A and B are shown apart, each in its own frame.
Chain A
Amino acid sequence: MLTQEEARKLTEKVLSFSTFPECDVSVSSSESAFIRFALNDVTTSGFAVEQSMSISSVRDGHAGSTNVDEFDDNSLREAVQRTERLAMIAPPSPEHMPPLEKQNYATAENYAADTAAARNRAMIPHIRAIIDGARQNNLVAAGFFERTAQTAAIANKQGNFGYGRTTDANLSATIRNSAGSSSGWASHPAVEISTIDGAAVAHTAIEKCLRWKEPRRLDPGKYTVVLEPTATGDLIQLMGFGMQARAAEEGRSFLSKPGGGTLVGEKLFPEFITLRSDPFNKLYSALPWGGGGGFFGGGAGSGLPAEPITWIENGVVKNLFYDRYWAAKAGKQPTAFPNHLILEGSNKSLADLIASVDRGLLVTRFWYIRIVNPKTAQVTGLTRDGVFLIEQGKVTSPVMNFRFNQSPVEMLKNTVAMGQPIRVRGGEGQGMIAPPIVVHDFSFTSISDAV
């Protein structure tokens, strides 16, 4: 992977090929090692080295961009020339922002050398623990263990340069019985691979599978639910996309005020709801820049220093995501994109939350979540890998899976209690730091036969 010095030399070389006043370069190099397993056996596995560079050239608002992963001089020169030729053809963009001047990026990084060095032989004992655990219980294990390491740099002709390194790992396992009538799941995402414990993941998934036997059929309808942290994260992570100031001001978002304007400053949620981004949280490994470009914070013009930001504080909408163009138009400060989300919680345990519910459903996680209405943030999806009835504060019986139609915004409004947050990563999306929560009136609309 590229060292800081190599990245600096490489980006300087690319910028030396530029004849336009503006040229933005973003380069990344990565290594990943992964093992897939299923049917109590390893299936596919590999080691991949990748590198990629994005180049954007601009003159008088005319912009062209390219991606290239051949880093020889000829390829890079040709790539820069290509962006300049595209820019000469393109109409000027009225939303183009001037390039960033030199920025001050944080030098601290959360990079774990053990993760970056780990190969299959370091992962196999954990997978063996899961497969052995499944076999001992006459169950069937499937799962995935991956670790990635990345170095990245950004540079432009105005002298801005940033460099960062990240690592991450995730082990997930699904345990099913051989009849396919019961299923359990667990995962552990971590920056440091040495903190991941295959035996612990196996224990949780096996226990869930053994408990979720012969689920009973309950009518769809509105239920009080206790969402395990992964289930909370599965839905709340979608709110990041909804924090865009532009969509809110243009009447296309749940944060649009009827008649015009936005709901910033309004108390939409209970007092104890605080949603924020923190790329420096020790559970995350993040690059020292965090967006500012127009397309989800990326693309040309991005590269603002990463910073913590609070989106919802004590129930009040505090901030929206402003890319540099929209911020300039609105007279606001641009912000980083809502990544590295944290939903604050409390010291209560999951058991405390379950004990507080007279009648409700405990949900392990959600699956196949898709937006139904971007204006209200309503999404649909299904429960997966363990739903249980709670009666008088105790988990009593397994329940068949449900489809839901529910806005995470309404869900947060109807949240009545929260527990201890942990880092979670479900089946879709990058995950977040989320607590277990208790929600009233969660809307299940049909039953699924799936296990």
Chain B
Amino acid sequence: MKGKSMPFELTKEQRDIQKAAREFAEGELLPEVALEHDLAQKFPRDIWKKACQLGFIGIHFPEEFGGQGCGVLENILVTEQFCRKDSGLGIALSFSDFASEIVLRFGDENQKNRFLPPIPKAKALSAGALTEPEHGCDPESISTTAKREGSRYVLDGEKSFVINGPTADWLVVLCQTDSKAKPRSGGQSLFVVERGAEGLKVVPSGEKMGMHMTGMGDITFSKTRVPLESRIGSEGSGFDRTKRFLEENRMEVAAQAVGIAGGALEKAIAYAKKRYTFGRPIIEHQGLQWMLAEMATQVEAARSFLYDVGSRFDRGEGKIGPQTAMVKMFASDVAMRVSTDAVQVFGGLGYMEDLPLERTMRDSKATQIYLETNQIEKMVIGDYLKR
């Protein structure tokens, strides 16, 4: 058994998963397919189906719900390999089960049996409607309400920038069930709502800088009636559970970021070896070599940090919330810097759509923003430091 202080090492099984994910990505996440989907702003359904068939999606679900019974770290390894090969396809695949972990970790048996199995089978996409147009990540002031009326809840309100909003078959929604609760976060509850529910309207959030293969929607609930059974956990538990979901999902975003940065770095190194200026490969120019050295160091540091936090989560170590915030912020900042520098190494060529570098840079920016902005991560870390 490894103690906490032992150096981190992947098991043979984890390395096999990593290798399988890499092979799948190399074979399926092809640049021309990516470019086509990116320009058409289309979710990659065919690749998603294949990834599901091979067990990559929902790998962290127990086998009874169609998963592989793996931990968060295995999910991290898969996500990293997908994003390493292609940022846009990787993000879309990684988020295909977005917020399903809320049902997985906190749902009852009926909810799990009903909502989880379609996810790894490529029968459903999930979403989480947690952000609101006027309140962003501020949980104290959400205005979407769920009022109990007999055997139902009636949902009213708006959520914005919902990942998978336009494509999801079901989504988890954070609502205020008790408007008098103090703090307000103690009066919030989670519900799972299916596509087609009455009064549920989704419109795309608009044109984005990147992550074009992942839909984003603004959602309106207008007298949306849902049965009591759609409430996840007890009334008033929504905020706490959302927080715990965010902790888990920050690692997934960090995995996307590490993959994106690692992929951009590899492409930059390969190009630096074959591109000549002033009679020699550009990697022979020391200034460029040092730039690559800094990029590589950042990627290594982010990856080690992520694997460490992921394995601590899987070992059931509690209270790693601040570390998840740190790794999300750090890895996404690394992805932004490294992908920006990778474009720089490629020069004019890097700026063109012919190569995935410029898209990768645009996709990287999203990892610093979505789920929660890195400013919010700093607040989470700051609160922890104060304690």
Q: Do A and B come from one complex?
A: no
